[in-house]
A and B are shown apart, each in its own frame.
Chain A
């Protein structure tokens, strides 16, 4: 299992949280996705074979700008 932390541009509305968590959560190989509203960060736990690029693409499609990606 891997953890990817994605820093987004300021997230402004509470429904953004549901949108991002919902979409990421439905992706194959994603175990959990949590949005930290005030930090504007998404923490994704996922299987090893998932690339962080795929995750950021999903987020960008939702209309959110990705600033930084950190995988550990």
Chain B
């Protein structure tokens, strides 16, 4: 704080000196007092610059500080005190302003870091103790109450609650969690009461890993950035040489040193990184992690997209889609089936229970004398009748032709079909399928509008199921029954033709990923491998982030191009101005500093770049659960 106030005072002091110099230069230009004030300003403002310049000589760096120092000293030699004073003042002022703007481009990450919780409530011998977060160890049992922040990563031991995980996933919808579910530090418990067991602390928590990844990403140099730096490193010495040549040829010291001052490629070197830093920071806040500038560039240029099906386009777990009954109430059938499956660990059983709950059917715990028939289904007794529920293997022979026809229809349409009977009479059929992710269709339309030429589905699943999903999403092409190496081969066949993007869940796709030009992993939170391998990690399960990621990457890329073009044009204009003696040293410095600030301001726009889109757009609700009308 004191430093900050001192800095304010220092800049104010310099500004006063500068204004006095300006006035004196007009009123009594050649007076002793004028020279004194100007020299004082040069020394006060230039002190830091000269110190750094001397350091740079030691490390053989030709940096901006050295160039400015040479120019200022030369200006003094030729008696141009005002120019010397103005240049040092503008340079110092510009530097302070740049620092503020640069801090701003990096602010997105700071806001993440400030979210780290400070305290935790540990349970020791049944007593609650408030302790500082640094004292928490793995395996500790913590209590979290409504409205509090989850202190660190862990699993729920007891209790349930609604969690706001927006800071991790960027998704605003609260998530319900219960026993055995994972918790992430710094997320918020909106309602409920949880006992949790700590699994990760300190640097190992998801939040720390995300922060670390973003830091690495922001510092990873992209191709464009490397090119600009190489360019700048040749360009600066070249300008020095040019100044010397100018001095020898024209014998005009003023012209030579003006050239030196405008030479510094400040805006150029800064142009590319600031766009990336802002863009990566903003995306991270939305639950989209870019691995670096290169990832952004490759994603922005992608024209063909490959999708894994299960867990990427679909939720990765079955859902009840169709119920067909034969003279029996649909909800009653579901109620009986769900009662029997209530404690089932099988995904199909869980899907039936979920569907019953979704329809608001009240389930009672009853003793049903259940027998599991592995690979087929189960039988149970209820209200003095024997029920069976399972696939066709559970039934020897079904006599009713109508039922057989329906089973054939469902199975050929790609549904996993369960048959339910009461005392050998068929009550009904339940068709299940791995459901599409919410808004998957809208995202596909968005991708088309973003100019993605082909959307190709690659899946290891059987063709029937694949084509059903593919038809619903209007995929350009679909390849089914693939082995992982087949996926890689297909992607490879596109190499050199179109730039490709692969989207998967990041777990079984390592080979495929390596052949695509860019890769996106979905639902990466808590999956270390996915976070490491993909170019872009979508932390949450929300597929809408996919089109957001592509939009951000393109926005960042165009922002960066704007900056580079602007910086080059400014330098070119200045050079021409200097050669025709229209640009003085101080004007050159002024334009230089303004151009750096302009580039920074342009990058800061990326921080405010809101994708708007999905939250504001009204979705045609996808009736994922709707019962199929085909039967």
1/0 per residue, CB under 8 A from A, across B257-271: the answer is 000000000000100
Of the listed residues A15, A36, A62, the one surrounded by the most CB atoms of chain B closer than 10 A to its CB is A15
Q: Please indicate the chain B residues that have their CB under 8 angstroms from the CB of A39 in the complex.
A: 106, 109, 215, 218-219
Q: Please indicate the chain B residues that have their CB under 8 angstroms from the CB of A63 in the complex.
A: 48, 51-52
Q: Is B56 an interface residue (CB 8 A)?
A: yes
Selected contact of B61 from candidates A19, A38, A62, CB within 8 Å: A19
Question: Are A19's CB and B102's CB within 8 A?
Answer: no
Selected contact of B65 from candidates A10, A15, A40, A41, CB within 8 Å: A15
1/0 per residue, CB under 8 A from A, across B538-568: the answer is 0000000000000000000000000000000
Q: A37-B273, A38-B106 are in contact. Are A15 and B218 (CB under 8 A)?
A: no
Give the distance in Å from the alpha carbon of A14 to the alpha carbon of B226 in the complex: 12
Within 8 A of B (CB), among A7-43: 10, 12-15, 18-19, 22-23, 36-41
Q: Please indicate the chain A residues that have their CB under 8 angstroms from the CB of B63 in the complex.
A: 13, 15, 18
Within 8 A of A (CB), among B260-312: 269, 273, 277
Q: Is B103 an interface residue (CB 8 A)?
A: yes
Q: Is A65 an interface residue (CB 8 A)?
A: yes
Q: Please indicate the chain A residues that have their CB under 8 angstroms from the CB of B219 in the complex.
A: 36-39
Q: Shortest CB–CB separation between residue B7 and chain A, in angstroms?
A: 11
Of the listed residues A10, A18, A40, A63, the one surrounded by the most CB atoms of chain B closer than 10 A to its CB is A10
Q: Which residue of B lies closest to A21 (CB)?
A: B59
Would you call the interface of chain B mostly helix, strand, loop, or mixed? helix
Q: Please indicate the chain A residues that have their CB under 8 angstroms from the CB of B65 in the complex.
A: 15
Q: Is B3 an interface residue (CB 8 A)?
A: yes
Q: Is B229 an interface residue (CB 8 A)?
A: yes
Q: Is B16 an interface residue (CB 8 A)?
A: no
Selected contact of A10 from candidates B52, B59, B64, B103, CB within 8 Å: B103
Q: Which residue of B lies closest to A38 (CB)?
A: B218
Give the distance in Å from the alpha carbon of A65 to the alpha carbon of B215 in the complex: 20
1/0 per residue, CB under 8 A from B, across A50-61: the answer is 000000000000
Question: Are A15's CB and B106's CB within 8 A?
Answer: no
Q: Please indicate the chain B residues that have their CB under 8 angstroms from the CB of A41 in the complex.
A: 215
Give the distance in Å from the alpha carbon of A37 to the alpha carbon of B273 in the complex: 10
Q: Number of residues in A with C-beta < 8 Å to the partner?
A: 18
Question: Are A15's CB and B99's CB within 8 A?
Answer: no
Question: Are B56's CB and A14's CB within 8 A?
Answer: no
Q: Shortest CB–CB separation between residue A58 and chain B, in angstroms?
A: 12
Question: Are B61's CB and A18's CB within 8 A?
Answer: yes
Question: Are B106's CB and A10's CB within 8 A?
Answer: yes
Q: Which residue of B lies closest to A18 (CB)?
A: B61
Q: Shortest CB–CB separation between residue B220 and chain A, in angstroms?
A: 9
Give the distance in Å from the alpha carbon of A21 to the alpha carbon of B52 in the complex: 14
Question: Are B55's CB and A19's CB within 8 A?
Answer: yes
Q: Which residue of A lies closest to B233 (CB)?
A: A14
Q: Is B95 an interface residue (CB 8 A)?
A: yes
Give the distance in Å from the alpha carbon of A23 to the alpha carbon of B56 in the complex: 11
Give the distance in Å from the alpha carbon of A23 to the alpha carbon of B63 in the complex: 16
Q: A10-B102, A13-B64 are in contact. Are A38 and B215 (CB under 8 A)?
A: yes
Question: Are A14's CB and B59's CB within 8 A?
Answer: no
Question: Are A10's CB and B55's CB within 8 A?
Answer: no
Q: Is B98 an interface residue (CB 8 A)?
A: yes
Q: Please indicate the chain A residues that have their CB under 8 angstroms from the CB of B277 in the complex.
A: 38
Selected contact of B273 from candidates A38, A62, A65, CB within 8 Å: A38
Q: Shortest CB–CB separation between residue B235 and chain A, in angstroms?
A: 13
Question: Are B215's CB and A36's CB within 8 A?
Answer: yes
Question: Are B99's CB and A12's CB within 8 A?
Answer: yes
Q: Shortest CB–CB separation between residue B467 and chain A, in angstroms?
A: 47
Q: Please indicate the chain A residues that have their CB under 8 angstroms from the CB of B273 in the complex.
A: 37-38
Q: Shortest CB–CB separation between residue B485 and chain A, in angstroms?
A: 38
Q: Shortest CB–CB separation between residue A36 and chain B, in angstroms?
A: 5
Of the listed residues A37, A41, A63, the one surrounded by the most CB atoms of chain B closer than 10 A to its CB is A37
Give the distance in Å from the alpha carbon of A40 to the alpha carbon of B109 in the complex: 12
Within 8 A of A (CB), among B58-79: 59, 61, 63-65
Known: A15-B61, A15-B64, A38-B277. 4 other contacts (CB 8 A): A14-B269, A19-B52, A37-B219, A62-B55
Q: List 29 A-B contacts (CB under 8 A).
A: A10-B103, A12-B98, A12-B99, A12-B102, A13-B64, A15-B52, A15-B56, A15-B63, A15-B64, A15-B65, A18-B59, A18-B61, A19-B52, A19-B55, A19-B56, A23-B59, A36-B219, A38-B106, A38-B218, A38-B219, A38-B277, A39-B215, A39-B218, A39-B219, A40-B106, A41-B215, A63-B51, A63-B52, A65-B3
Closest 9 CB pairs of A and B: A15-B63, A38-B218, A22-B59, A39-B215, A36-B219, A10-B103, A38-B277, A12-B99, A38-B219
